[in-house]
Structure 1
Amino acid sequence: MTGDVETDRRNAAVKALCDAIDRLDVAAMTAEVRTLPAADIAATLERHDRRQQAVLYRVLPKDLALQVFESLDASLQRDLVEALQDDAVAALFADLDPDDRVELLDELPATVAHRLLQGLPPDERAMTADILGYPQGSIGRRMSPEFVSVRPGMTTAEAMSRVSRHLADAETVYTLPVADDERVLVGVVSLRELLGAAPETTIGQLMRPVQWAYATDDAETAARRCADLKVLTLPIVDTETRLIGILTVDDALRILESAESEDQARISGVEPLRRPYLTAPVASLVRSRVVWLLVLAIGATLTVQVLEVYEQTLAEAVTLALFVPLLIGTGGNTGNQAATTVTRALALGDVRPSDLFKVLFREFRVGLALGLLLGAVAFVVTSAVYERALGTVIALTLLSVCTMAATVGGAMPLLARAIRADPAVFSNPFITTFVDATGLLIYFLIAKAVLGI
């Protein structure tokens, strides 16, 4: 009951804040933001235009403003930077963690990014420049260089003293990487283990084996490793296994969430917006969809050409035309289901391109089973309404199309990954077009053979 009351209170406060923003009532906004957590303010800010966002942001206390800013997508951070004055932007930019700073810099025009970098203190500028030196899409560009490491020869007391000195500037201290005198990663130790050990115990006695990622590894792959290992921190190393940064679990989850959103968008035949829906301009929504619509429209001409080739067949058995939407729709859906399932399995690391033949055999059997089930139902219904011969045509077509669509749908994401393309791009949009045209060919060939037309 207490939780319900608190939820109702927060919902009422959010509504009051939205009303104040709509009226641009600065006094009311100032009063309401002090009653809400940063996450609620960030979610509210995402629902308004740039001018309203800038006004709301200016009334936030400094500490709360930084929390809200860090909660926003990089595209919205860019909008705020463009709307705020230079002095406010410089202070905000300097307070960001280096990895968050780099993500924002990737969104900004080069001239603005250069000006902000030049305004940083030398040590912060050096850390940011180091991260910027890694390739786009690599985990080195998303790691944090602000961490606390300990050495195997340190005692627990010395390690705790070191942690205490760096509490203010470290990204996290709950998991501590252990590096030798050459900065080579040799293990990891948790703060819990330090607190439970005797002061004279050495780190070498406490540390345990550690998993890591190379700075040049793909960001999504490294984030997935962090999530799979269920660790709070994944150390990042260079080619010589020297410790250069860490990936925290919250940053890993952000990377995975972004990758998931991108895959879902492309599977559905649109480009990812990379920003909240309500803040995206209509032109951006159009651009994200029109390219794929044009591609699919061009691909659909294959279906039209197949229909034109078998125009005479349709003229002799007009009833065949009634089942065209059913057959190509079922085939497309079957292929999309297989492609989505395998794409997800690829993202989770459950399958690899080398598993192509295993996936082909498995999806062939799945498609065959689905085809038998759907074909049996279609045969009974079609034979009862029309004639047995037509029921046989529909049943055999569904059997063939489902088997073909599932097999192709399962193979496409693996082939895409093998040629270093995005599996989501090669999945549903192209499979739908392929299955439509191929399914019609199968349909008319079976119809001609069974009906003798």
Structure 2
Amino acid sequence: MEQEQKLTADQIIKFLEERNFKELKEELENLHPVDLVDAMEELDKKQRMLVFRLLSKEEAAEVFTDMNSDMREELLEALTDSELKEIMDEMYVDDTVDVLEEMPANVVDRLLMATDEETRKQINTLLQYPEDSAGSIMNIEYISLRKEMTVADAILKIRQVGINRETIYTCYVTEKRKLIGVVDVKDLLTAGESRLIEEIMDENVIYARTLDDQEQVANQINKYGLVAIPILDHEDCMVGIVTVDDAMLVLQDETTEDISIMAGVSPNEDSYFGTSVFQHAKNRSLWLMLLMLSATVTGEILGHYEDAMAVMPVLITFIPMLMGTGGNCGSQSSTLVIRGLAVGEIEFKDIFRVLFKEIRVAVVVGLMLAVVNGLRIYIMYDQNVMLAGALGLTMIAVVSMAKCIGCVLPLLAKKLGLDPAIMAAPLITTILDTCTILVYFNIVTAFFHL
């Protein structure tokens, strides 16, 4: 079936200019909130406000949730208190908390004033959990059933309260707030109405704790293919759920953070275009400065071998190739290990297995590069076998060293509680530059007795 063409920003502007609000309202009802937010980014402030006011309360709440912080602040300036209250009433509590965490203090106060006392209490509870914990991203709105209920009773309850819950596909069976089982809606719909929940519930429940790291919880959801995972507090009482859409956002944020760190850039929650030039420069300059200063060590080591380079100036021409190869090999290994750590494929206890595998890879890769490079040097430098042999041996040593360092450092960082992404390309390349110079000149000085 051919997909319908999405409403574009230009089409929205045309509707507004023609003041054809009725038809625009109908078109907006068929547009997904995420697509509408994308279109609204191309509108000016007045046009955004007109479009937003054409939306129903439910649609407005979804669109408001999907907006970036700048667009939200812009709308908040124009919305009346009653309009704001209608939007806040339609938003799920976990989404409200996400919005509040991105807003300045004066805006937060106004948003909280637009919520009822019970919702404010729930929001404050979630805000008290540590950042990046499961408690900070969980939704406290879920469907709770009792084991003595019949299937018919459970379905009736879902119909009554399901409209206010983020997900109804999985229901949780509790007793005095203790989680004792789970029931899928599919099981309820296919079971006899007189059967008890106790008979059809699954007692083997996968759960997480409020203080568990949010990335760990997101990986659990991904690993077990869950729609949502129940969250228990320190007293083993069920206090909320983390849904798969929240888990996807967590994994996206964590991946973005790791990519930034691996590139030597301080993580930033704002978008690329939403970040000022000064902030971009600030995020990048610290790492660049540290790496620049650390390269001073490499320069000092080179200075130590001035006499050898004076005797054989040709040695200088091979330094960029060796340093580049070492850095690239180290980056390959570190990237694969960091990825393995992120998805739970590799753990610190596997360090010797990883090291053994990388050593074998290094020997094969090193021999291939050494042979190719040795032949090149033999042909280009008057069939100098000694020089080709020295560079070939150096290549094998550099590749082996790079592979070992590249795989071990991220594992050590993980063991020490640091982000393994710190041990990525920029840092490993800098370390390997120094090590490569030491290995190279020790080998050539031994070969040529310099």
TM-score, scaled relative to structure 2: 0.90
SS of structure 1 residue aligned to 2:144: coil
In 1, distance between residues paired with 2:371 and 2:386?
14
**Structural mapping, 1:12-31, within 5 Å:** 13-14=7-8, 16-17=10-11, 27=19, 31=24
Structure 1 residue 154 corresponds to structure 2 residue 146: no
Which residue, 47, 65, 72 being the options, matches 2:60?
65
Aligned partners of 2:49 and 2:75 also within 8 Å: no
Structure 1 residue 222 corresponds to structure 2 residue 200: no
Which residue, 379, 404, 428 being the options, matches 2:401?
404
SS of structure 1 residue aligned to 2:287: helix
- Superposition deviation, residue 202 in structure 1: 0.9
Structure 1 residue 424 corresponds to structure 2 residue 421: yes
SS of structure 2 residue aligned to 1:39: helix
**Structural mapping, 1:23-422, within 5 Å:** 27=19, 31=24, 33=28, 36-46=31-41, 51=45, 55=49, 58-62=52-56, 63-73=58-68, 75-76=69-70, 79-80=73-74, 83-85=77-79, 87=81, 88-180=83-175, 182-208=176-202, 209-386=204-381, 387-422=384-419
Aligned partners of 2:9 and 2:43 also within 8 Å: no
Residue 432 of structure 2: aligned partner: 435
Give the counterpart letter for 1:381 in structure 2.
R
**Which shifted more, 76-85 or 114-123?**
76-85
SS of structure 1 residue aligned to 2:372: helix
- Superposition deviation, residue 28 in structure 1: 8.2
- Superposition deviation, residue 47 in structure 1: 6.3
Decide whether aligned partners of structure 1 residues 169 and 38 sit closer, same or farther in structure 2, where only a CA change above 3 A counts. same
In 2, distance between residues paired with 1:388 and 1:52?
76
**Which shifted more, 430-439 or 313-322?**
313-322
Aligned partners of 1:378 and 1:395 also within 8 Å: yes
**Which shifted more, 283-292 or 224-233?**
283-292
- Superposition deviation, residue 134 in structure 1: 1.1
Decide whether aligned partners of structure 1 residues 69 and 311 sit closer, same or farther in structure 2, where only a CA change above 3 A counts. farther
In 2, distance between residues paired with 1:224 and 1:76?
30
Decide whether aligned partners of structure 1 residues 276 and 54 sit closer, same or farther in structure 2, where only a CA change above 3 A counts. farther
In 2, distance between residues paired with 1:28 and 1:260?
43
Aligned partners of 2:84 and 2:114 also within 8 Å: no
SS of structure 2 residue aligned to 1:244: strand
Aligned partners of 1:53 and 1:80 also within 8 Å: no
Residue 2 of structure 1: aligned partner: 2
Aligned partners of 1:151 and 1:179 also within 8 Å: yes
Aligned partners of 1:235 and 1:245 also within 8 Å: yes
In 2, distance between residues paired with 1:245 and 1:92?
22
Q: Which runs of 5+ in 1 are unaligned?
A: none
Decide whether aligned partners of structure 1 residues 253 and 273 sit closer, same or farther in structure 2, where only a CA change above 3 A counts. same
Q: Which runs of 5+ in 2 are unaligned?
A: none
- Superposition deviation, residue 421 in structure 1: 1.1
> Cα deviations across residues 111-143 of structure 1 (Å, max 9, x unaligned)?
432342243101111111111121111010100
- Superposition deviation, residue 343 in structure 1: 0.9
In 2, distance between residues paired with 1:103 and 1:198?
40
| Count of aligned positions | 442
- Superposition deviation, residue 392 in structure 1: 1.5
Decide whether aligned partners of structure 1 residues 304 and 46 sit closer, same or farther in structure 2, where only a CA change above 3 A counts. farther
In 1, distance between residues paired with 2:366 and 2:20?
62
Decide whether aligned partners of structure 1 residues 215 and 366 sit closer, same or farther in structure 2, where only a CA change above 3 A counts. same
In 1, distance between residues paired with 2:18 and 2:141?
37
User: Matched residues, percent identical?
Assistant: 33
Give the RMSD, CA atoms, in angstroms.
2.6
- Superposition deviation, residue 81 in structure 1: 5.8
Give the counterpart letter for 2:95 in structure 1.
D
SS of structure 2 residue aligned to 1:198: coil
**Which shifted more, 314-323 or 196-205?**
314-323
Decide whether aligned partners of structure 1 residues 220 and 443 sit closer, same or farther in structure 2, where only a CA change above 3 A counts. same
In 1, distance between residues paired with 2:265 and 2:148?
54
TM-score, scaled relative to structure 1: 0.90
